[in-house]
């Protein structure tokens, strides 16, 4: 794996030269702010894939939500605001990303979210989630992505669902087939802006 592509999904990223910009996005009539930094995914703007995933994800009735590979926290923070009845856990292997996510939880005044640092679903072992959100590290390779899908399956509550987003031109259909190796039901639930969102269920 080239170093340039590895920085945001390894446990010990290069030292940060300083904080990045404060990003702003509006979702559901509310403005969110996100502090970013070098060495985390999409530090210059909230990526279109995350926005599309949030548009597609059904959070109604969810009591526990996981943002798997949270980066600086966009998916988990917005989900927590949309589903105040739920407890939301944000997890990332990158300590810098986890620290930024913690800062952004505070920055946005989100009382029902917590951040844990660690690899995959290890930090939430023993917990079951109604919804898992994941913008997977495609460039980490098929083996890593498949492992995350399998771990997510083990963390889903009965009737739970996993939402995954990927670029169409970076193997979204291949990703859907990989999901089909792990989950009984996989459906494309949204597409746009060069991205596709899949919902996987059946554990």
pLDDT single digits (tens) 22-38: 899 998 899 999 999 88
pLDDT, residue 138, reads 78
pLDDT, residue 15, reads 44
- % of the chain surpassing 90 pLDDT: 72
Q: Is residue 18 scored above 80 in pLDDT?
A: no
Where b means 16+ CB within 10 Å and e means fewer, 41-71 reads bbbeebbebbbbbbebbebeebebbbbbbbb
H/E stretch holding 176 = helix 172-180
* pLDDT tens-digit map of 63-119: 999 999 999 999 999 999 999 999 999 999 999 999 999 999 999 999 999 999 999
Ordered structural domains, the chain, with CATH: 3-201 (3.40.50.150)
> In this predicted model, which residue has the larger pLDDT, 159 or 19?
159
């Amino acid at each position: 794996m080239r170093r340039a592509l590895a920085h945001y999904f390894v446990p010990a990223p290069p030292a940060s030269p300083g904080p990045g910009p404060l990003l702003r996005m509006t979702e559901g009539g509310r403005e969110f702010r996100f502090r970013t930094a070098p060495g985390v995914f999409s530090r210059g703007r909230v990526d279109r894939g995350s926005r599309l995933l949030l548009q597609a994800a059904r959070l109604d009735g969810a009591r526990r939500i996981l943002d798997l590979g949270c980066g600086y926290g966009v998916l988990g923070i917005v989900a927590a605001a949309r589903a105040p009845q739920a407890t939301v856990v944000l997890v990332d292997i990158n300590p810098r990303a986890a620290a930024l996510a913690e800062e952004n939880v505070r920055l946005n005044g989100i009382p029902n979210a917590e951040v844990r640092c660690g690899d995959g679903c290890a930090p939430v072992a023993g917990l079951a989630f109604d919804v898992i959100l994941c913008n997977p590290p495609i460039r980490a390779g098929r083996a890593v992505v498949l492992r995350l899908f399998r771990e997510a399956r083990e963390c889903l509550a009965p009737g739970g669902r996993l939402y995954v987003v990927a670029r169409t031109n970076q193997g979204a259909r291949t990703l859907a087939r990989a999901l089909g190796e792990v989950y009984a039901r996989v459906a494309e639930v949204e597409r746009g802006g060069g991205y596709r969102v899949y919902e996987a269920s059946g554990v």
